[in-house]
Structure 1
Amino acid sequence: MNLDFLPSRTLTLYLAKLFVARIAAVLVMLVLVLLMMDLLSQSGKILEAGNGQPQLLYYASLRIPQLIARFLPYAVLLATLITLVTLNQNSEVIAMKAAGLSAHQVLAPLVLTAAVISAASFAFNEGVVARATASLKAWQAVDYGPIPPESDVRTNVYVSTGPDIMSAATVLGTGNAMRMRDVTFYRRSPEGMIIQRISASTARYANPGWTMTDANIFEVQGATSRDVPSITVAESLAPQQIELARVDPETQDFGRLSESIDRYRDAGRNADELRTVWWHKMSGPLAAILMPILGSIAAFGLARSGQLFVRALIGMALGFAYFVVDNAALAMGGFGGYPPFLAAFAPFLLFLLIGETMLIRTEE
């Protein structure tokens, strides 16, 4: 038996090209179908805001990176099954094993290709997807209206200041230059009852407090309202508190998320959710490496035995089970049920052991 991990350069290139072509085909198919469905559901809202075809294309350009990032592991799983089933039906797997290759050597080119795809996926997520997600959420926060020019945009922010609550649809800028849009301030009694609601289209940091311009004050007790040119509220609320109030890890790359975690730790706040996502930014792309191992059950066994279809279904079930367990572990890590590192990497390690066990027991 040949003990080299990649015994043949020709065979490695043949399998890698076959695998990459099928990944690309499946991914393009998934992205196009899902993008069409998404546009059908969102195009009405986009056009209602006075937009046209350029804005629809812009929306598609922001959604495509998200769809690629989310469904790349599924594409690798389906491409693995298609590739291995085809090789099995054409007796190419039998020929490779007759030449002395083990099951791991047959899968090695696919795993190596998947490792390259994982590295590219990580770079793509950090360089493209995080920015596209931040831009899309900022655009959706203004109901597909004019996009704020600032790059540091937070959406749907809620923060408490004593018994009172302040909310804003959009927060722009940082530090003393921070300002809000579509702001609502709820003044509450010590018992927690709302006694006054103040709403305004904009608010700026007045150091101290926040000056709400063209505000409307609604008195709950008398059910009366009045308009005022400006009013300053929440004098104890600092911009730093708002920066910590809502951190969306999907809109931040690896470096910025690390800084957010450090700010949470310095403020004495629980950062388990952010740390879980931080670790998952590394473990998530590894799913591509796992798919050829989980789908390998479709490569072996005689095609004429009638069990090839069942083997393909088992491989697909294992792949989708991994995604279910991964999402469940991510949720558990988010509210402290699991340590962040364990929540991010345990599903990968678990299904890696399951795949290797099945591969060894059936073929090695």
Structure 2
Amino acid sequence: MITLRSMRRALLPSKTLTVYVIKMYIGRFLGILIGLCTVLQMLDLLAQADDIMAAEGADFSSIVSYLMMRYPQLMTQFIPFVGLLATLLTLATLNQNSEIIVMKATGLSSHKILLPLGVASGIIALAHFAFHDTIVTKANADLEYWKENDFAINLPPAPDVRGAVWLTEGTTLVRVNKVTKAGSRVILDNVSLIERDDLGRMTRMQQADFAHHQDGKWTLFGLRNFNINTHETTEVEQQNWTIPTPPERFLALTVRPKHVPYRQLSNSIDQLEREGLPTDTLKASLMQKIAAPAAILLMPLLGALAAFGVHRSGNLFMRLFSGMAMGFSFFVADNFMLSMGEFGVVPPFIAAWSPFILYLLIGYAVLFNTEEGSSPRVRPAKSQPV
């Protein structure tokens, strides 16, 4: 307890000042977040209301259901941006009321003044990660399922449906149009099998209406065999499919990072790595699940221009604008690198964390340059004539 208290006193200002700054920051953060998301939700609802109410039997409850799915998406999307605005307003208010000058006069460094904002941002980052991992991922899947069914009411629970997948097993090329998990059973729709020789030439083609995995084996239904040599087609109602591919591999290949929580996405990556398949795209999305909430930790540094140096230059508006411009440029760089990672152009770690590390260094450089300044130049003494 004594050690923790000593660390708190060494890193943070007094308890009263820390609580005062955190309350000011959290109050502005919540106010801006709720206000901004409410306005954006109203605009989004105006664009979607006609489609929602066009469904048969739709009523006001359909609007409420849409709001419950869409509002969390807006919140998690704008939390880092709102953190930047809350930081700028908090520091600008403290500076305008000369509270920053008083803090500096008592011997507090710029780092101690900003650290309470960093503590509050850390709490928000943890809450953001938990909120996104438990609520937003489910809302993403439910809203997309609802849109695909034209906002129909009384829909059954959404099945675990995945998109198309290609894979190679030995000399056989397999294409599945859709992967569905119903309970413990995995169903593959519209299965195409292309068998090739050692030179890669097609020797036989098979198509099945669907296949399902049960009791440790695959079964094809509605199978049609096309003979390359005779150009004849034969049909089989049901046939065992001797392929060593487990159902988990099909599910892992079709996972949607925005629709699954962190642990499930990590398990899918492990499954693919055990089979020697590329996972860079999924790894970039996995790291982004941590890097996105962590972005708010940068906002006190990027917004520090609003706090320090204003009492010397007297131009508060320009410093607010500069802090906001730095924040916007970070969001642009972050989205750009995420896109590069999803396309496999850059390694996953660089795609997810390079903007964070770069702007962390930029923020500290600006803070030191603004607050510490350069040491005064010593002029040589003039020689006195004898």
Q: Does TM-score exceed 0.5, indicating one fold?
A: yes
From 5, 10, 33, the counterpart of 2:39: 33
1-structure distance, mates of 2:44, 2:211: 36
Give distance in 2, aligned partners of 1:94 and 1:113. Answer: 22
| Most deviating of 289-298 and 320-329 | 320-329
Partner of 1:136: 143
TM-aligned CA deviation for residue 339 of structure 1? 2.2
> Could you say if the C-alpha distance between residues 189 and 204 of structure 1 is closer, same or farther in structure 2, counting changes exceeding 3 Å?
closer
Aligned to 2:303: 295
Structure-2 change in CA distance of 1:127 and 1:240 (3 Å) = closer
Change (3 A) 1:236 1:326: farther
Other-structure match for 1:112: 119
Quick one: which of 261, 264, 268 aligns to 2:269?
261
1:20 match: 26
**TM-superposition CA deviations, 1:206-245 (whole Å, max 9, x none):** 8755547xxxxxxxxxxxxxxxxx9779968874554234
Matched, 1:274 2:305: no
Flag the 1:106–1:158 CA change in 2: closer, same or farther, 3 A: same
Q: Which residues of 2 match residues 145-294 of structure 1 at below 5 A? A: 145=152, 146-149=154-157, 153-159=160-166, 165-168=175-178, 171-173=180-182, 177-179=185-187, 205=212, 208=218, 211=221, 239-240=247-248, 242-294=250-302
Give the aligned partner of residue 225 of structure 2: none
Matches of 1:140 and 1:204 in 2, distance apart?
27
User: Alpha-carbon deviations, 1:137-177, whole Å to 9, x = none?
Assistant: 22223332354425x62354354786785434x834265x2
> Rg larger in 1 or in 2?
2
Deviation, 1:328, is 1.8
Aligned equivalents of 1:266, 1:291: Cα separation in 2:
39
Partner of 1:85 in structure 2? 92
- Greater CA drift, 70-79 or 245-254: 245-254
**Structure 1 residue 248 displacement after superposition:** 0.5
Q: Percent identity?
A: 38
Alignment counterpart, residue 58 of structure 1, candidates 61, 65, 71: 65
5+ residue gaps, structure 1: 213-229
Q: Structure 2: how far apart are the matches of 1:259 and 1:283?
A: 19
Q: Which residue number corresponds to residue 324 of structure 1?
A: 332
Q: Is the 8 A contact 1:78 1:316 kept in 2?
A: yes
The DSSP-based 3-state class of the residue aligned with 1:178 is: strand
Q: Please give the alpha-carbon distance, in whole angstroms, between the structure 1 residues aligned to 2:174 and 2:126.
A: 46
- Distance verdict in 2 for CA 1:120–1:208, change over 3 Å: closer
Q: Work out whether 1:344 is the aligned partner of 2:352.
A: yes
Equivalent residue of 2:180, what SS? strand
**Residue of structure 1 aligned with 2:364, choices 335, 340, 356:** 356
For residues 351 and 233 of structure 1, the distance between their equivalents in structure 2, rounded to whole angstroms, comes to 58
1:73 to 80, 84, 88: 80
Separation (CA, whole Å) in 2 of partners of 1:78 and 1:209: 57
In structure 2, what is the Cα distance between the partners aligned to 1:341 and 1:155? 26
The structure 1 residue matched to 2:106, chosen from 96, 99, 110, is 99
1:329 aligned counterpart, secondary structure? helix
- TM-score normalised to the size of structure 1? 0.81
Distance 1:45 1:251 in 2: 23
1:226 corresponds in structure 2 to none
Q: Provide the rounded CA distance (Å) in 1 between the counterparts of 2:270 and 2:104.
A: 52
Contact 2:257 2:265 in 1 (8 A): yes
What TM-score does the superposition give when structure 2 sets the normalisation length?
Answer: 0.76
The number of residues matched between the two structures is: 338
Contact 1:257/1:278 (<8 A) preserved: yes
For the residues of structure 1 that align with 2:334 and 2:104, how far apart are their CA atoms? Answer: 34
| Superposition deviation, residue 251 in structure 1 | 1.2
Aligned residue for 2:161, secondary structure, equals strand
Cα pair 2:164 2:175 within 8 Å, conserved: no
CA distance in 1: counterparts of 2:287 and 2:162, whole angstroms: 24
SS in 1 for 2:164: strand
- 1:343, CA displacement in angstroms? 2.1
Distance 1:279 1:164, change over 3 A: closer
